[in-house]
Amino acid sequence: MTLTPDPAKPPVPRRNRPKVSVTRSITVYGGVLLLLVLVLFPFYWMVTASIKNFREISIERTLVPREITFKNYYDLFEQTSILWHLFNTAWISCFVTVVTVILASMSAYVLTRFLTPAAEWIARVSLYAYMVPSIVLIIPFYIGLRMAGLVNTHAGLILSYLSFTLPLGIWMMRACFQTIPKTMEEAAVVDGANRFEAFFLIAMPQALPGVVSTAIFVFILCWGEYLYPVVLISSDSLRTITITLDALTGGGQNIKFGLLMAASTVATVPILLIFLFLQRHLVRGFAAGGYE
């Protein structure tokens, strides 16, 4: 007797093949498409408006630009210090991200591995701290920073950013460390590592997807933060990108849409690049951290 299938016999149709209903597919894909349009259309409008002339933006309101012009970008770099403000935003965001990732990883590690009864409480308090709206804290922050002589400085801005990035970072990194089995660090300790070596050489490499997603979240939060810089920063040279965009709205009168859309596009590009570059890690981080 042979076990190979008989070529003369037609293959038996698989009974339990899932039946996909056409209506269901149309509903699902239609929904996804609608969602995509809702999300992507503003981006499309922003990018196309930045390369349209004034007439096309404000009077004709064309969907597809008939004439492509880079005048808006030329004017933007000519008339404003947007590059300098971009640089300010970039370095502050990077600095806050690095500090947050380092401090949050270490705190979250301690909160998951050591102070078990108190840890849950501390972690929760840190989340509550994140939930408090910035607008509630801005005045106390302003007073505190003024007393410390840090109003209108990047140091003050960084401190205020850390007040909301750290709780978020700790919460995310804690979720990440909770998924990493403790036994590997124990194996490392028996293998002769001390606690720091076990943390840096064993736990951290495994927490990398979590680190990447935390870093991206924190970076985006810092990049788009508006309230703290608008209250704390008054000098033009210290401004961040959100304030530049705000200034271009001209307080609601005579909004230069072309310029504003060009500035918005310039402000979006770095974030988009980071996303594209780290997308793979980000998805892995979501899955591993369980904060999907």
Partner 1 sequence: MAEVVFNSVGKDFGREAVLRDVDFEVRAGAFAALIGPSGCGKSTLLRMIAGLEHIDFGEIYIDGRAMNYLAPKERDVAMVFQNYALYPHMSVAENMLFSLRMARVTRAESNERMWEAARILGLEDLLDRYPRHLSGGQRQRVAMGRAIVRNPKVFLFDEPLSNLDAKLRVQMRAEIKRLHQRLGATMIFVTHDQVEAMTMAEQVIILREGRVEQVGSPLELYDKPANAFVAGFIGSPAMNLVLGTFEVVNGGPCFIPQDGKPITFLPGSLPGAEKTNPGQQYLLGVRPEHIAIPETDPVSGSRKSHGEISAKVVLVEVTGLDTHIVASAAHGEVTILVRGRFNTAAGEQLLLRPDFSRAHVFDAETGVRVD
Q: Are 71 and 82 in contact (CB under 8 A)?
A: no
H/E segment holding residue 48:
helix 22-50
Among 30, 42, 149, 205, binds partner 1 (CB under 8 A): 205
Among 181, 196, 237, 253, binds partner 1 (CB under 8 A): 181
**Structure tokens, 221:** 């939060």
Tell me the C-alpha distance between 68 and 291, whole Å: 43
Which one-letter amino acid corresponds to residue 143?
I
**Structure tokens, 61:** 């309101």
CB of 186 to partner 1, least distance (A): 5
Of 71 and 195, CB closest to partner 1 = 195
SS3 content of the chain, % helix, strand, coil (to 5): 75, 0, 25
Residue ranges of alpha helices (H) inside 179-207 are: 183-190, 195-197, 204-206
The answer to the question of residue 186 lying near partner 1 (CB under 8 A) is yes
The answer to the question of residue 288 lying near partner 1 (CB under 8 A) is no
The answer to the question of residue 116 lying near partner 1 (CB under 8 A) is no
The answer to the question of residue 157 lying near partner 1 (CB under 8 A) is no
The answer to the question of residue 191 lying near partner 1 (CB under 8 A) is yes
Of 196 and 254, CB closest to partner 1 = 196
Among 95, 130, 197, 247, binds partner 1 (CB under 8 A): 197
Among 26, 132, 184, 283, binds partner 1 (CB under 8 A): 184
How many CA atoms lie within 13 Å of 84's alpha carbon, on the beta-carbon side?
Answer: 9
In the complex, the residues that contact partner 1 under the rule CB under 8 A are 181, 183-184, 186-194, 197, 201-202, 205-206
